[in-house]
Every structure is written in C-alpha cells, then in structure tokens.
A and B are shown apart, each in its own frame.
Chain A
Amino acid sequence: MTEASPFVAAALKHVAVRARVDPLTGEESPETWGASDADLAALEWALRLGERWSMPVLAITVGPSPAETVLGTAAAAGASHLVRVEMAGDAPSRSVATALAAALAAYPGGPVVVCCGDASPDRGSGSVPAFLAHELGATGALGLVGIEPGERGVLAATRRLDRGRRERLRVTALAGAPAVLSVEAAGVRLRRAALPAVLAARDAPVEVIPGPASRSEPEARVRTVRRGPYRPRAKVLPAPAAADPRARIRALAGGRAERRTPQALALDPEQAADHLLAYLRETGYLS
C-alpha cells in the first residue's frame, strides 16, 4: 500500500467457531478457534472489492495475540496489510467498535469500505458493525447476502428481509465517507489460498496497535439492563395441510410418519454406485 492509498478493510474476529457442550451440565468449552463463516465471507467480499477497485485489502482484528491466526488466514487469501488492536478478547461490542474505528481512521489512506461478518457465533449480538459505522461516521448496510462491485466506490448489495423478501441497495463509498457492510455467511466462500501464500502468510508482519486504555463501556444512551437466556430462533414451519387437527399435530410432531428402514445391501461396486445414484435421484438430491 502506498503511503496514502485508500483501502478496503475486513474486520475479523477470532472466535470459538465450535464449542464442546457438556451434555450433562450444559457447560460449554471452546474447541476450535478461528474466524466465523460470516467473517470469512466478509473477507472474500473485501478481496473481491479490492481486486475490482485496484485497492489494497487490510485485515484487522481486535484481541490478544492468538487473534493473529485470523490475520494469517487473511494474508494467505490475499490481504496485504494486517493489523491487530491489542485488547482483551471479551471486550464489549461498543469498545471493540471504537478501537476498530480509531485504528482504521488513523491508517494511512483511510478505509473506503469495511466488511464485517453479521454476527459472531459466540452469540454475538451483531452490533459491532452498527457501532463501527457510527464511530466512523460511515454509511451502514447490514445483514447482506450478496455484493456486486460496480465502478470504484460503488456497489450493489442484496439484503435478506423477513419472510423471504430481498432488498437491493446501491451503496457509494469514498475514503473519508466510507461504508460499513456486514454480511451473512451466504453467497460466497473464502477462496482457497495458494500453497506459497499459505507458507508466506506465516511470516507476514502484523502491525500491533495498542487499544484504548480504558475497557469501560463508553457512555451510551441505550444500555442493556437485563439479558435473558439464549433461545435458539424459532423456525417457521409451513402448516400441515390435513383437515383433522390431530393429523396436523401428528404431522408436526413427526409421529407415525412413514420412514424408510435402513437397508444393508451386498452389491458389487458398480451396482452399489447405481443404487446410490437412484436413491439420490428419488430423494431429490440429483435431478
């Protein structure tokens, strides 16, 4: 990146992407750390925007040194600049956003677009992108499922709305008037990094910026007073068609539903392959 070249940024969180849940106590212990699928999608969009607009891509994370793993992933995929803001891993969203915004705004050239995942899998509230947009004084387009880069600084974005509707957005962004995009883990997958890039990424330099001195939540006009227990989102199921209420309940509960009993077949490989293909066709996986 030349001294003052505007850039596209991807903000990535180092997070427990899989946790082990003790089935007896419900206690969770983080198992696999990395970037969430949504963050990886954000990185891919950032790389595509950077390629299309010929801008460098900066990957940034907030957290202690193990968080640099996600920057390694970004470097291998093509991010040219890596920044870690030194802060505790469990800092509140608002502080994270403030730290991110300060680091990005101070970075030479300034961000044109900042891509973030929509919500982290550690039951994140998804509020960092909104806070970040606020702190940067940026346009915010949140919860996106697709981005089409247009001319430099212009992009079309698709957002998922309730009840299956979609919304198309046209976003313009400039250095000094950037846009913050939060994306769902949908539509893209992070590109597969080339082996030389993976090897080189191990030694890629990471700039470490000290985070804000105080970890206390900045004065806010909206404060969380109480947080209820986690409840998975309700899944909307189409109402069963039967006229009889009992039949509808049975259909919903899956009782007496017709099930195929597992079969064990002794076939030669060719017959086995035919059988599998037929099954996949029958069940709609292959057309």
Chain B
Amino acid sequence: MAERFDVVVVGAGPAGSAAALVAARSGLSVLLLERGPFPGAKNMFGGVVYCRILDTLVPNWWTEAPVQRWVTRRQTMVLADGQALTVDFRNQNWGSEPYNGATAYRAEFDAWLASKAEEAGATLVCSTTATGLLTSESGRVHGVRTDRPDGEVEASVVIACDGVNSFLAKEAGLYPNWSADHYTVGVKEVLALPSAAIEERCGLGGDEGMDIEILGGTGGVPGGGFFYTNRDTVAVGVVLSVAGLRDSGRRPEEIIADLKAHPAIAPLVRGGELVEFTAHTIPEAGLAGMPRTVGDGILVAGDAAHLCLAAGIWLEGVNFAIGSGAFAAETAVEAIRAGDTSARGLAGYRRRMANSFVLADHKKLRHAPHLILGERAQTRYPRLICQLAEQVFTITNPDPKLGVRRWARRAMRDSGVRLHELAKDAWTGWRSFG
C-alpha cells in the first residue's frame, strides 16, 4: 500500500522548505522530497537572499542563517565597450539587524531552511525524484510517484516546488502557454580570492558585501550580468535569453570571459581562481509566463510557478519562493481542515499571493521583463548612457561645453536611439518602476 501524508512537497529549495515548514508547524504530516543528496546540492543562484519574508517564519533568522556577507553596497552598472556608468549606493544600516540582503551559498542556505522544516516535524527524504503525479480519472491529483521501488505516496495536497520548468505542473496541465522564450539561462563562475582582497577592492569592511547588477556587457545577447561578494569568493555571471544565446552562436563561458575582461570588472576579479562553474534556467517572463498555480489537489510555488522576479535592478527569486511556498502551505492546511482540497478549496492560494508582494510586485512589473530584454535596453540605451556620460565628462577646450540638450541629441544619434522609442520605453518604464 502506498505511504500516506497530508501534504507532499516536491523539491527542498526555498519554496519547498518554506511550504514544508509551515504545513508541519500546523500539525499536518508532511513529506518533503528532494532529488539531490541533500537540500541545495543541485541548486545555484547569483547570490543574494532578501530574507525579510523569513521574519515571521524563523524569528531572528539572521542569528542562525548561513550567511556569507551582509550586503551594504549595491551598484547598478551600465556597460558599453570600454565604458561603464555606475550608480553606487551604500547603506551601513543594512549591515546590522534586521539586515536587508545577504550573500549565501545555496548548498548551505537550502540545507539550513530544510532543517527548519525537519525541526517542525516534516519528513525530509533526499536522493528521491518525484517522477509523476498520481491522478484519479477525473484528473484530481492525489499523490506522487517517485523513482524508488514502491515509491508511490498518497497525499491530500501536493505542493509542486520542483523549480523552473516544473514537470509536475506541466503534467497537471497547469502550463498551457509554456514557451522556451519565457526563460533565460544564468551562468556563473565562483572565483576564490582572499577575503582581504575582496574587502579592499570593493571597499568593504568585515562581513559587509557588495552586489552589482549589470546592464549591457553580454556581447549583444539579451540579458544582464551580476557580481556578488562572498566571504572568500566572488560570483560573476550573466543571465542570457535562451533564444538570444542560440541565435548569437556564442557560448556563455565566452560571454563571462568578456565580462570579466571589461575594465570595470577586471580589477574586481583579478587573480581569482575558478572554483565553481554552474548554470541554471530562470523563469524570467514574469506574469506573462505564469502557469495556473492551483489545480485539484495540487498547488504550485516558487520557480515552478514562474514567480522569480527579474526586472533589471532586481533579481529576486528566493524571497518569492519562500513567500509563495508559505502561502501554498497555509492554503493546504486550511483546505485539509475544511475537507475540500479541490481547486475551489485551494483557491485561497491565489488570493494570498495577490494580497502580498508575491503577485503584487509581478503585477506592477509585468512590462519590465519585455522592456529590459528588448534590443534597445540591451544595446542602444547602455551605449546612449555611456556616450552621454563621456560627453559630459570630456573637457573639449578650447571648444565650449555644448550643454545637455545637444549632448543628448548627439548621443542619441550615435547610439541609434529614436526619441519616440525612448519616450515609449520611458513611459513603460515609468508604469513599471514608478
């Protein structure tokens, strides 16, 4: 006879562990399945977690979470050939309680969060892949099949937290509009450097960290770059549109090599020894790529529900995963107690997400992915911004200064930007970010 749990959570990433934690705390029997040998074993990200969402789940999480550095310096960098314009913001308040963002290693962070779920009573089983859903004739999900012998598990609710490209959500028919164009591929190198060198190069003290989000610098392939500091490593990487990468005929490691050679990045990574090279897809289409997140007996959370927020200056997925995982579990608890785990009984999930940052941010920023991955934002605007900066800061004596209006006109001409396009994008940007 198949094993039985109130809730089966598939995937012990941030979404799954948060879901398991909340469901187990409510007294339900919870099975948390992870295909890797331990939670986090198979996971990667750029490197910054924004844990405000953990305040209620794990009070004082900062005293125990495995953090590399507390981010006190954030930069947004626009790169063009041999040029960079950087907005640099430093905030020492982020270096003390209750903190803002922290760099972390997924192998450590995910394992820690999963241990919290276990402490709450969830049963974590690793090295076990959910290979499919158990469904009734009416299509109602009532458990999962795993790759272990006698590996079927019955559950009142399955929470699919199996990450980007969720096979379970697809099998449940929740992804009718799935398209490869909704995804980017993130590729990163982790380079070892002495912590003193990292601190000196980035102007950091003790356990402070820096985070740079980069626009441009991807060799014309739509995407962006990032640079994060850990204790004694730095992460440098790119996020590239899958279709753009294919069309470019280039390899991601070449693009990272070019990024590392850019004069704005080279001094930061000089002498770093490669200790890790990883790649992972990212659901980057925002609201446009989102599946249905509720089915009969099933809820979908985190990247599996396409909830990663990738909007230029923000690349946030872990907090969205934790938030949605927790909401999915709250909904499952409520539905199981009410004895209705049909899609209707689970409908509160969507409502919970809509009333929080999880869907509200996505709604607000729904036009951002298209804008940011567009050709103009990728190549022409970085060129425009850098050329404008070049003109402003180049002293052309004995010629007098032209003034911003004429500099702007010249920079627009040279970078191929048209005024009406700029106005249109500015309006879209304002509606998204404003």
Contact = CB atoms under 8 A, between A and B. Distances in A.
Interface of A: 22-24, 31-32, 34, 192-199, 202, 262, 264, 266
Most chain A CB within a 10 A radius of its CB, from B38, B148, B153, B193? B148
B84 to A, nearest CB: 28
Contact of B249 (A196, A199, A264): A264
B153 A195 contact: yes
The SS class assigned to the A binding surface is loop
B273 A195 contact: no
Contacts of B37: 32, 34
B125 interface: yes
Most chain B CB within a 10 A radius of its CB, from A193, A195, A202? A195
A195 B194 contact: no
A22 B232 contact: yes
Contacts of B337: none
B123 A199 contact: yes
Contacts of A195: 3, 125, 128, 146, 148-153
Given A23-B275, A195-B125, A266 B249 contact: yes
Contacts of A32: 37-38
A24 B251 contact: no
Nearest to B197: A24
Contacts of A266: 246-247, 249
B368 interface: no
A262 B252 CA distance: 12
Q: Which 7 A-B pairs have the closest CB atoms?
A: A194-B149, A195-B148, A194-B150, A195-B151, A23-B192, A23-B273, A264-B249
B250 A264 contact: yes
Interface string B139-163: 0000000111111110000000000
Contact of A24 (B123, B128, B273): B273
Interface in B336-368: none
Contacts of B3: 195-196, 199
Contact of A198 (B128, B192, B246, B250): B128
Nearest to B195: A24
Given A202-B123, A264-B249, A194 B148 contact: yes
Contact of A22 (B38, B148, B192, B249): B192
A262 B251 contact: yes
Nearest to A21: B275
Contacts of A34: 37
Contacts of B153: 195
Given A195-B148, A262-B251, A264-B249, A24 B125 contact: no
Contacts of B193: 24
Interface string B196-235: 0000000000000000000000000000000000001000
